[in-house]
Amino acid sequence: MESTSPYIKDIETEDFQQAVLQKSHEVPVVVDFWAEWCGPCRTLGPTLEKLATEAGGEFLLAKVDVDANQQLAAQFNVQGIPTVIGFRGGAPVDQFTGALPEAAIKQWLAGLLPSELDRVVEQARDAAIAGNLETAERLFAAVLEEQPDHQEAGTGLAALQIASGRHDEALILLGKLAITDEVERLQSAARLSASRGSDVSEIAKRLEAAPDSDPIRIELAIALAGRAEYEPALDHLLSVVKARGEGKDDARKAMLDIFEVLGDGHPLTTTYRRQLASALF
């Protein structure tokens, strides 16, 4: 029976991206991989639910039935149950297997819940939302001075750097972080945004004079994407892939960057990903 607590939710494979990975950017999410027939699961589950309710939203508990979601269990290398994995910033950060006593679970949760540095990151985000970008950047940078691999501070600062045109700085910073969907999206955004100031009309004239030039066509596509003109950009890149010349792989990578920026659910991503697959194979 599904819990009525707002802090506890049964999760299926199709919910995982939004309910766990995306949500963990806002609040830690604890995922309990369990099964109905598992005795230790029946011991651990109620304890986790009690702690989630008592925490009042400091973390969310997502329960995954491994029998109904075997692919998801395999994705996170769940070899024994119960397995509990803590997610923050879109990535798993810690886990344990077995029915630990409540005191041990509380100790484990203490390492997952926001630290003082995490609270500074929240202050930085609030400052950015309020338009105080200098303050936000200063706070993100202060966190990174103390913890250079702090994921949320790193992505937050990189986003500000991209917005202000410091694309190379952003790419260097992102390269120091663990690879997550958010890091890959920002890397793609940095590469595309770097061409935002390019003279599209000048590049188009050069392409008109040399229509078979893959490098110029790719340059034009990336410049268009930098101006958020994604559909013509994708058309140019797809034509390079279909021609199967020397620029094929560069065009493919540029298309993937655009897909990352648009997101999997965008109609252009769906349409052009299918066409890209057909062109490649």
What is the number of alpha carbons within 13 Å of residue 253 lying toward its C-beta? 11
Rounded to an integer, what is the distance from CA 124 to the centroid of its chain?
A: 19
Sign of CA dihedral 123, 125, 129, 133: positive
Q: 265 catalytic, yes or no?
A: no
Cα–Cα distance between 159 and 232 in angstroms, integer? 25
* Amino acid found at 21: L
Pull the structure tokens for residue 172.
């260097």
Catalytic-role residue among 20, 30, 38, 262: 38
Q: 44 catalytic, yes or no?
A: no
Helices (H), 30-150: 39-55, 70-75, 102-112, 116-129, 133-146
Cα–Cα distance between 25 and 88 in angstroms, integer? 6
Catalytic-role residue among 11, 30, 41, 162: 41
Rounded to an integer, what is the distance from CA 30 to the centroid of its chain?
A: 17
Cα–Cα distance between 229 and 184 in angstroms, integer? 20
Pull the structure tokens for residue 274.
């299918």
Active site residues: 38, 41
